[in-house]
Amino acid sequence: MKLTEVHKILEESSQEDWIVDDETGSFTYKNDLNLHIDRADYDSFREFNEPWATSHPDPHAASVEYVVKYGTSFVDKYTLVSVDGHRATLPMPKSINDLRVTKSDVNFAKIVDIGNRVDEYLGRAQLQVVDNE
């Protein structure tokens, strides 16, 4: 599989296209079992304190690393933010003052967000979805 094919899958697939094991943080693509995403262990989550992430009923937020692999080969790494006491997982905006997120990053968050609440929390956090650059 080519890198462009992997990125296309990450940009266009939905969570239903993946085998999800929330307990271990493992996501395996159903159409090619060599493609998988691994969430970092809970003990490696880092506290995250930007206002867009902490302005929810539960102010606890944490940055979480996700590694995409094809077989044993590294493909990409994403940092997402778990917000509202782990009720939703959102993409990281461009900066603390520039709250734009790309469509592809939003789709990646939808793949790994177990609660399926990305759209709701994008609005709550006032993140603006923009076309991929």
Q: Choose among 43, 94, 98: nearest CA to 65.
A: 43
Q: Is a pLDDT exceeding 80 seen at residue 133? A: no
Q: Is a pLDDT exceeding 90 seen at residue 54? A: yes
For every residue of 43-71, DSSP letters joined together read GG-EE---HHHH-SSS---EEEEEEEEET
Q: Which residues contact 124 (CB under 8 A, 6 or more apart)?
A: 55, 56, 84
At 43 the pLDDT is 85
**pLDDT tens string 56-99:** 999 999 999 999 999 999 999 999 999 998 999 999 999 998 99
Question: Is residue 123 packed enough to be buried (19+ CB in 10 Å), middle (13-18) or exposed (0-12)?
Answer: exposed
At 87 the pLDDT is 93
Q: Choose among 2, 24, 25, 6: nearest CA to 80.
A: 25
pTM (2 d.p.):
0.93
